[in-house]
Amino acid sequence: MMDQFINDTAALGRLPPDDDAPRHYRALFLSDIHLGTRGCQAELLLDFLRVHDAETIYLVGDIVDGWRLRRAWYWPQTHNDVVQKLLRKGRKGARIVYIPGNHDEFLRDYLGSHFGGVEVVDSTVHTAADGRRFLVIHGDQFDVVVRHAKWLAFLGDWAYTTALATNTWVNVVRRRLGLTYWSLSAWAKLKVKNAVNFIGKFEEALATEARRSGVDGVICGHIHHATMHDRFGIGYINTGDWVESCTAIVETHDGRFELIRWTSNAAGQPLRQQAHRERAAA
């Protein structure tokens, strides 16, 4: 049985000077970065990677947005810097495992290959420090729209991109008013009943797959909704994304999992919020 998850949200605040040193973890999980799109928060991710290292880095799909790049090329220097930063961590000894998603599905033609020290696999099992085993998978395989109505998925992607463009201008105004970053699309998803139902069904499907696979939990991405819980009797962890929420999952050296939210204030300075720390069951 999965250990208990608790909501342990710290106050959102600027990193103190002595907290600027790199923090080292046993494992780091990132997904849905969407390099190649204007919505990608590459600068915030670079700031996050500057102070977070891990023995193993899992890239849990949709790291590069092939759908968007096929339509129009967009690749600023910051996106290239993200790639170089990750490869540099690999050269320094980190194991990097790339699990393609639906937006970077072209990499599924290269499963089992190694590129610059990066392993490409369809899914994998991560064994935590305390022995628990987690299925690591992007999760689009359990999205009915992506599997059976790809044209609708493309339409949804267009609508999502439009919402992100609107969100950019909303946040320009918010910055001028001295307010922090706010995600219109994330807010809308949680307000629309069908979206909430979709998230619940997706989480249940992934939890069922983890149970079928004989593991203790699942770590996935895809739906841009970062969370950790054991609502379905098995551990469910979603890494979130680097478009809306700017979140990552880390495993500490004693086997605890933490969800880190990394955003910025009105002046563009990095802010940190760590939430949903896991506590071992008594």
* Alpha helices (H) in 76-192, listed in sequence order: 77-91, 144-148, 150-176, 184-191
Mean pLDDT, residues 12-17 taken together: 38
Domains for the chain: give ranges and CATH numbers: 13-275 (3.60.21.10)
Half-sphere exposure of 179 (CA within 13 A, CB side): 9
48-69 pLDDT, tens per residue? 999 999 999 999 999 999 988 9
With cut-offs at 50, 70 and 90, classify the pLDDT of residue 199.
confident
List the beta bridge partners of residue 247. 261
Mean pLDDT, residues 42-53 taken together: 95
Distance of alpha carbon 151 from alpha carbon 119, whole angstroms: 30
Helix (H) / strand (E) element for 2: namely none
146-155 pLDDT, tens per residue? 343 343 344 4
The pair of three-digit structure tokens given for residue 232, joined into one six-digit string: 């379905």
Distance of alpha carbon 75 from alpha carbon 230, whole angstroms: 38
The pair of three-digit structure tokens given for residue 77, joined into one six-digit string: 């220097």
Distance of alpha carbon 101 from alpha carbon 140, whole angstroms: 7
Of 75-84, 177-186, 245-254, the least confident: 177-186
